[in-house]
């Protein structure tokens, strides 16, 4: 069963928002890689296969995974839909540097309670979001195991990791600071980007998913360029410029 939620207006993204912890970030640049910008400028994205990314969400039961996704995709906190048996994903559309791009956000239907998540759930993920509850130390302790399980089905060199603490609204500033120290330490170790959010208040949720979209998009374009070789970018640019020249050539006569 696939639940697709087509948003009418894609979210436009043109730079990286600077709203993560600089010491636990995948990178801290505010612009996209120059090659990525070059490709997008010529708008040939349709011919390359980077316009969708599979993103999986894992973590202990009740840490707030489903609420996090529905806060972003449905702009609501209370869950109004019922996940059916098996896996389920939401499609969320973005427009990165003017190019259409979608995140396929996979959510479990409660199988994490029994630790019996199908390998198809994990397989081929471009981003792994490990969620823990900022008010539950044990859920952070379990994050490492969730990551290990998810990594069994994925290539470490091509997957982006995010460690997300939820229910920020429940912690006092002192509690939060203490948990965050642990979480940032773990992020550094596993090379994940750390975020603290609240699905209840919405704090950080939008920024977080924009960040996931920006980073997976950039990684997808770069890996595609690596596969096809930098010549491809040149070809695309040459094609566009020759087309433009043709138009100019013909212009006076027509
Ligand atoms: P899942 O099992 O990881 O998918 O967890 P759910 O998304 O179903 O959430 C589990 C419980 O945590 C529910 O009772 C939610 O109402 C609650 N919850 C989720 N996110 C938040 C949050 O940001 N703040 C607070 N206060 N409660 C939350
Ligand atoms: Mg759930």
The mean predicted confidence, pLDDT, of the chain is 82
CATH number of the domain residue 69 falls in: 3.40.50.300
Which value, in Å, is the radius of gyration of the alpha carbons in the chain?
20
The answer to whether residue 224 sits within a structural domain is yes
Tell me, using a 6 A CB cutoff, whether residue 71 lines ligand 1: no
The answer to whether residue 40 sits within a structural domain is yes
Across the beta sheet with 88-96, what order do the strands follow?
11-13, 88-96, 99-107, 52-58, 127-133, 160-166, 192-196
pLDDT at 237 over 80: no
Residue range 88-131, pLDDT digits in tens:
788 899 988 888 899 999 998 888 888 888 888 999 999 999 99
The answer to whether residue 159 sits within a structural domain is yes
Q: How confident is the model at residue 232 (pLDDT cuts 50, 70, 90)?
A: low
Tell me, using a 6 A CB cutoff, whether residue 67 lines ligand 1: yes
What average pLDDT does this structure show over 147-158?
93
Q: Which pLDDT value is given to residue 139?
A: 96
* Contact assessment for residue 163 and residue 130, using Cβ atoms and an 8 Å cutoff: yes
Tell me, using a 6 A CB cutoff, whether residue 64 lines ligand 1: yes
Return the higher-pLDDT residue of 136 and 100. Answer: 136
Tell me, using a 6 A CB cutoff, whether residue 57 lines ligand 1: no
Strands of 29-157, DSSP E: 52-58, 88-96, 99-107, 127-133
How many separate domains does the chain show? 1
The answer to whether residue 2 sits within a structural domain is no
Range name among 11-15, 52-56, 236-240, 248-252 with the lowest pLDDT average: 248-252
Residue range 38-65, pLDDT digits in tens:
878 776 555 555 689 999 999 999 999 9
Structural domain boundaries, residue 184: 8-250
The answer to whether residue 46 sits within a structural domain is yes
Residue with the smallest CA separation from ligand 1 atom 14 is: 62
Which tokens is 30 given?
A: 């505010």
* Contact assessment for residue 126 and residue 103, using Cβ atoms and an 8 Å cutoff: no
The answer to whether residue 113 sits within a structural domain is yes
The answer to whether residue 3 sits within a structural domain is no
Determine the distance from the C-alpha atom of residue 79 to the mean position of all C-alpha atoms in its chain, rounded to a whole number. Answer: 21
Tell me, using a 6 A CB cutoff, whether residue 233 lines ligand 1: no
What separation in Å is there between the alpha carbon of 64 and the centre of ligand 1?
Answer: 4
* Contact assessment for residue 199 and residue 133, using Cβ atoms and an 8 Å cutoff: no
Most confident among 77-81, 117-121, 152-156, 232-236 (mean pLDDT): 152-156
Residue with the smallest CA separation from ligand 1 atom 27 is: 167
């Amino acid at each position: 069963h696939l639940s697709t939620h087509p948003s009418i207006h894609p979210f436009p993204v043109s730079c990286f928002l600077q709203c993560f912890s600089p010491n636990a970030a995948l990178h801290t640049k505010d612009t996209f890689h120059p090659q990525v910008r070059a490709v997008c400028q010529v708008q040939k994205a349709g011919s390359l296969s980077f316009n969708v990314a599979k993103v999986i969400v894992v973590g202990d039961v009740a840490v707030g995974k489903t609420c996090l996704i529905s806060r972003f995709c449905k702009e609501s906190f209370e869950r109004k839909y019922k996940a059916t048996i098996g896996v389920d994903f939401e499609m969320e559309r973005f427009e990165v540097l003017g190019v259409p791009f979608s995140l396929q956000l996979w959510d479990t239907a409660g199988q994490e309670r029994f630790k019996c998540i199908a390998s198809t759930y994990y397989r081929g993920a471009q981003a792994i979001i490990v969620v823990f509850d900022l008010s539950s130390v044990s859920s952070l302790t379990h994050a490492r195991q969730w990551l290990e399980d998810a990594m069994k089905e994925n290539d470490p060199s091509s997957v982006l990791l995010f460690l997300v603490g939820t229910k920020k609204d429940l912690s006092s500033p002192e509690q939060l600071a203490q948990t965050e120290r642990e979480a940032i330490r773990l992020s550094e170790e596993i090379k994940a980007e750390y975020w603290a959010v609240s699905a209840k208040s919405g704090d950080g949720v939008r920024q977080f998913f924009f960040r996931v979209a920006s980073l997976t998009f950039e990684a997808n374009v770069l890996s595609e360029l690596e596969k096809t070789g930098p010549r491809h970018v040149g070809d695309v640019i040459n094609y566009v410029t020759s087309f433009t020249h043709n138009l100019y050539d013909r212009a006076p006569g027509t």
